[in-house]
Structure 1
Amino acid sequence: MTNPTAARFRSLHATPALRLPNCWDAASAAVIAAAGAPAIATTSAGIAWSLGRPDGDALDRDAAVDAIARIVRVVDVPVTADIESGFGATPKEVAATLAAVAETGAVGVNIEDTTAEAPGSLREVADQVERLGAAREGAGPDLFINARIDMYLAGIGEASERLDATVARAEAYAQAGADGIFVPGVTDPVVIAALVKAIRLPLNVMAGPGALAPSELERLGVARISLGPGLATAAYEVARRAAIGLLEDDSYAAIADGIGYGTMNDLLA
């Protein structure tokens, strides 16, 4: 491996688990890095919202890549980017997306297997395998491809069949060149432990309120813990409360503990 930042990021998928906060713009990335994060992920939902678009492949490739580039420029830690389903209708277009992301200096991506055209459904395994193979080709050997499987998140199929179906997809994606497997939507510790045991690549889960604590996920063998859009939605909730405070409650309480103006300027200097 020729890229030391990529090698450092890859090495973090071990014990203890990589705790990976998700940013949505350059300023949030700078705040997260300053908090001590060893690496940063982007949230595709948060980036889309920050650019005035909904989540779900509504953002075009150039806008997404530009946002990733701005994030990479302001931090010194590895950045992995959520690129939804690859910003491309064809495997060739997915390869072009990966090449563009690698050019920004990001060292990882998430690629999901849902389809925007048919919400709540997954691509056929053969189709996703072809897209992941193209992604590997476009990314080069260093970039960490985290293949997302939305079986649990979308509630697809019978609950009793999801584990085996997820494991089968994980193996196919591994053979196609994926470096890690991301299974959002799973919270049952028995299922998580079974996924860790059955999947040969590092397992990433999405956590938040109601999920197992990070230390408990580590004990189950999870290699990577991310928050998805959770940080972005929490920040927007603070903005909503502050607006209500000003407009209705005769109060400034919601902004009392904000990061200082000078601190933010210094982080981005």
Structure 2
Amino acid sequence: MFNSRSIRMSTQSEKADLLKKLHHSGKMLVLPNIWDAAGAQLLEKQGFPAIATASAAIARAHGYEDGEHIPFDFLLAIVSQITKSVHVPVTVDLEAGYAADHETLKSNIRRLIAIGVAGINIEDSDVRTHELVPIEAQVEKLRLIVRVAERENTRLFLNARTDVFLAKPDLPEDQKLALAIERGRAYASAGADGIYPILASEEATVRTLMNAVKVPLNVLARPGVPDLDVLQKLGVARVSFGPNLHRAALRSVENMLKSIHEGRSHHPVTGQLV
């Protein structure tokens, strides 16, 4: 149903619409997050219908720590390379927006739209303090992003991440769940197209969140999270891998380098060349 040929000439708005359809298709959208154009092209070649970036992977691949330490102009250049290298929709991990004020945030969103980005993740914790921002402030930010897209006469899939499970690890599970539901509902009312309760892991928690929030739910694949087939049966709309693909790739390269350094074999590298 969805293939790169059918959207080869699609506009940014059409790709944003397609990204939204993918979240409502009944088939779970699986997004192994990447960090460069080569990875994006590989995912498209394998048949993935959309591309997602991971902020931590992009930052660390270029010598920065996660948490908006990579300059936004540099990030924009990397993302531009990615969007130009594939035909499928691209959604970008924007962390908290790379902006200390609303005017900068509006500018950042306009610039992302201009290079063809179809969607973004935006989180609700402060990248410096790691504390949750007040819910009213986050709702205002989400509404601002929606207005920017409207004024640009375009669409942008807005995936609102809530960091309740990340920022409040010591709270009882039922309290974390209640906070995540409160924030998820508020963000959906503010115009978010999807909700991403990062680190929500238990099957019962995922099911409750999905039923309570009423917009597509995004789950992070990690140890302790149900397998993909279980998440599909639950009705989860989207599964992300965050920086895990980048970490796995580095581990694989590390093992190859050990083999070469220890003089055992060059086959782990050269044996795969074609």
TM-score (norm 2): 0.89
CA deviation profile, 1:55-93 (whole Å, cap 9, x unmatched): 111112111111111000011111100011101011222
CA deviation profile, 1:20-77 (whole Å, cap 9, x unmatched): 1211001111111111101110011111112210111111211111111100001111
Contact 2:162 2:195 in 1 (8 A): yes
Aligned-partner Cα distance in 2 for 1:239–1:113: 34
- Residue 135 of structure 1 is matched in structure 2 by 145
- Residue 229 of structure 1 is matched in structure 2 by 243
From 255, 258, 270, the counterpart of 1:244:
258
- Residue 185 of structure 1 is matched in structure 2 by 199
Contact 1:109 1:145 in 2 (8 A): yes
| Unaligned segments of structure 1, at least 5 residues | 261-269
From 30, 35, 39, the counterpart of 1:19:
30
Aligned-partner Cα distance in 2 for 1:259–1:102: 38
Q: Secondary structure at the match of 1:48?
A: helix
Aligned-partner Cα distance in 2 for 1:2–1:166: 31
- Residue 55 of structure 1 is matched in structure 2 by 66
Aligned-partner Cα distance in 1 for 2:172–2:160: 22
Aligned-partner Cα distance in 2 for 1:178–1:127: 14
- Residue 203 of structure 1 is matched in structure 2 by 217
Contact 1:183 1:205 in 2 (8 A): yes
Q: Secondary structure at the match of 1:187?
A: coil
Q: Secondary structure at the match of 2:132?
A: coil
CA deviation profile, 1:176-213 (whole Å, cap 9, x unmatched): 22111011111100000000100021100111454211
| Offset, 1:256 | 5.5
Q: Which moved more, 1:209-218 or 1:172-181?
A: 209-218
Q: 1:29-40 to 2 correspondence within 5 Å? A: 29-40=40-51
Kindly provide the amino acid, as one letter, of the partner of residue 91 in structure 1: H
- Residue 116 of structure 1 is matched in structure 2 by 127
CA deviation profile, 1:145-178 (whole Å, cap 9, x unmatched): 1000011133443322011100110111112221
- Residue 267 of structure 1 is matched in structure 2 by none
Contact 2:12 2:117 in 1 (8 A): no
Contact 1:92 1:134 in 2 (8 A): no
Identity across matched positions, percent: 35
Kindly provide the amino acid, as one letter, of the partner of residue 130 in structure 1: E
| Unaligned segments of structure 2, at least 5 residues | 1-10
Aligned-partner Cα distance in 1 for 2:114–2:55: 18
Q: Does 1:42 align with 2:58?
A: no
- Residue 3 of structure 2 is matched in structure 1 by none
RMSD: 1.8
Shift of the 257–149 alpha-carbon distance from structure 1 to 2, 3 Å rule, reads farther
Q: 1:153-168 to 2 correspondence within 5 Å? A: 153-156=166-169, 157-168=171-182
Q: 1:43-122 to 2 correspondence within 5 Å? A: 43-119=54-130, 121-122=131-132
Kindly provide the amino acid, as one letter, of the partner of residue 146 in structure 1: N
- Residue 214 of structure 1 is matched in structure 2 by 228
Contact 1:186 1:192 in 2 (8 A): yes
Shift of the 254–127 alpha-carbon distance from structure 1 to 2, 3 Å rule, reads farther
